[in-house]
């Protein structure tokens, strides 16, 4: 199992629900006040748990951020599975387009996602995700998206996949930063430009497959 953000994995249903409530509260507060103003005490109050409960399950603020980022990644993969199942003749360019579309929708609708998506958008660009287990650079997002595309969606393997995936992810992040710069709903024209960029790049490296 990847190194997640919890100190210990809850087993009892009550504890599982408590962890989810803490993460929900954290996400809501990120939208309301931002990352820098977020405190574990505020999260505990919003979640309706004693402040010590945060440290019972999480390694403080950093642990909550990591677990929230991983939860968002899991949610993206669930959404991508649904989209891939509805596609016929899926190609790498189309897959990149779908990832962009789903990420845009999650930014619009998932609490906290504009702060904790998969690569932190605050100055410095520190990722909240733990390192991946394969590939140069240890990029978990690149690893999991590529594994999904090849092993689950049936796309052909790429040459130098880790670099391709990392560049595509950074290009997506740049396009979305511009698209969401002025509004949570995103500039549709900038999203369209991002789509063109990704389709062209993934089409070139995959031979259009």
Domain layout of the chain by residue ranges? 69-206
Q: In 3D, which of 161, 107, 122 has the Cα closest to residue 37?
A: 122
CATH number of 69-206: 1.10.357.10
pLDDT, tens digit, 9 for 90 and up, residues 128-142: 776 665 544 458 888
* Contact indicator for 2, 138 with CB cutoff of 8 Å: no
Angle at the Cα of 142 from the Cα atoms of 140 and 144, rounded to 5 degrees? 65
Phi, psi of 132 (to 5 degrees): -75, 175
- Give the tokens for residue 207: 């031979």
| Integer Cα distance of 83 and 65 in angstroms | 27
pLDDT, tens digit, 9 for 90 and up, residues 15-59: 889 999 999 999 999 989 888 899 999 999 999 999 999 998 998
State yes or no: pLDDT of 4 exceeds 90. no
pLDDT, tens digit, 9 for 90 and up, residues 67-102: 888 888 899 999 999 999 999 999 999 999 999 999
Count of helices and strands (H, E) across the chain: 8, 0
Residue with tokens 């009892």: 12
pTM of the complete model: 0.86
State yes or no: pLDDT of 124 exceeds 70. no
* Contact indicator for 83, 104 with CB cutoff of 8 Å: no
Phi, psi of 58 (to 5 degrees): -125, 155
């Amino acid at each position: 199992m990847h190194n997640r953000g919890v100190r210990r994995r809850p087993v009892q249903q009550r504890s599982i629900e408590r962890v989810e409530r803490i993460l929900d509260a954290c996400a809501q507060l990120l939208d309301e006040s931002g990352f820098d103003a977020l405190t574990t005490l505020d999260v505990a109050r919003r979640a309706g748990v004693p402040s010590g409960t945060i440290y019972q399950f999480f390694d403080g603020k950093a642990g909550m951020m990591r677990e929230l980022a991983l939860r968002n990644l899991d949610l993206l993969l669930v959404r991508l599975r649904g989209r891939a199942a509805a596609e016929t003749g899926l190609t790498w360019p189309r897959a990149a387009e779908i990832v962009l579309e789903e990420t845009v929708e999650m930014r619009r609708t998932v609490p906290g996602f504009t702060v904790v998506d998969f690569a932190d958008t605050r100055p410095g660009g520190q990722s909240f995700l733990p390192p991946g287990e394969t590939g140069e650079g240890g990029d978990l997002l690149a690893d999991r998206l590529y594994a999904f595309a090849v092993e689950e969606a049936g796309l052909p393997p790429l040459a130098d996949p880790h670099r391709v995936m990392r560049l595509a992810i950074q290009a997506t992040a740049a396009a979305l930063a511009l698209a969401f710069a002025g509004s949570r709903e995103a500039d549709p024209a900038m999203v369209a430009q991002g789509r063109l960029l990704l389709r062209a790049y993934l089409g070139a490296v995959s031979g259009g497959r």
